[in-house]
């Protein structure tokens, strides 16, 4: 693997980690920064501001979550000079409230596209495919999705 391909893998993995941390800490500007040139699956438009609006309007202020990403697959378009990457992974989303133990709220697949522009990798698109869903009211102000 070339140095550029290795750097691409490292940066994409870093952004996936940032996604989980920003989501769990409700740092909507931090999450929005990841999608400043792309589309977050749940947002109503492209860009950071749409992500921030979504987080502030949908997620409960005191929700406690853990976004656990696993089985990451990064497929670069070119190993010598990569400019696009298809990234797939699993997400298990856990939540807990004052009443009891953590619950698995969602299990899903991510299918994302990243692109390199002027040497910087950025998230372009994100599609989330749910495998199953639990009680979203642990996290969201309303049951946003069917169970």
* Residue-level pLDDT at 83: 97
Per-residue pLDDT at 147 exceeds 70:
no
Domain count, the chain: 1
Q: Domain range spanning residue 53?
A: 3-138
* Residue at 69 is within a domain: yes
* Residue at 92 is within a domain: yes
In DSSP terms, 75 is beta-bridged to 86
* Residue-level pLDDT at 142: 73
pTM: 0.91
* Residue at 146 is within a domain: no
* Residue at 132 is within a domain: yes
**Per-residue model confidence as pLDDT tens digits over 79-124:** 999 999 999 999 999 999 888 899 999 999 999 999 999 999 999 9
Query: Mean pLDDT over residues 71-84, rounded?
Result: 96
CATH number, domain containing residue 9: 3.10.450.50
* Residue at 131 is within a domain: yes
* Residue at 15 is within a domain: yes
* Residue at 143 is within a domain: no
**Per-residue model confidence as pLDDT tens digits over 38-52:** 999 989 999 999 999
* Residue-level pLDDT at 33: 97
Torsional sign, CA 58, 122, 48, 39: negative
Tell me which DSSP letter residue 138 carries. G
Per-residue pLDDT at 143 exceeds 80:
no
Residues 6+ apart with CB under 8 A from 87: 12, 16, 72, 73, 74, 75, 110, 111, 112, 113, 114
* Residue-level pLDDT at 16: 97
* Residue at 147 is within a domain: no
pLDDT, the chain, mean: 93
């Amino acid at each position: 693997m070339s140095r550029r391909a290795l750097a691409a893998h490292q940066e994409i993995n870093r952004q996936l980690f940032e996604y989980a941390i920003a989501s769990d800490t409700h740092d909507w500007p931090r999450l929005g920064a990841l999608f400043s040139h792309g589309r977050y699956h749940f947002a109503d438009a492209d860009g950071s501001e749409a992500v921030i609006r979504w987080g502030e309007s949908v997620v409960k202020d005191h929700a406690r979550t853990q976004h656990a990403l696993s089985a990451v697959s990064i497929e670069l378009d070119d190993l010598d000079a990569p400019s696009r990457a298809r990234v797939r992974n699993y997400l298990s989303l856990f939540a807990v409230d004052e009443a009891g133990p953590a619950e698995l709220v969602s299990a899903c697949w991510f299918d994302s596209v990243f692109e390199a522009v002027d040497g910087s990798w950025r998230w372009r698109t994100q599609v989330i495919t749910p495998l199953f869903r639990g009680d979203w009211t642990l996290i969201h102000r309303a049951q946003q999705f069917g169970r």
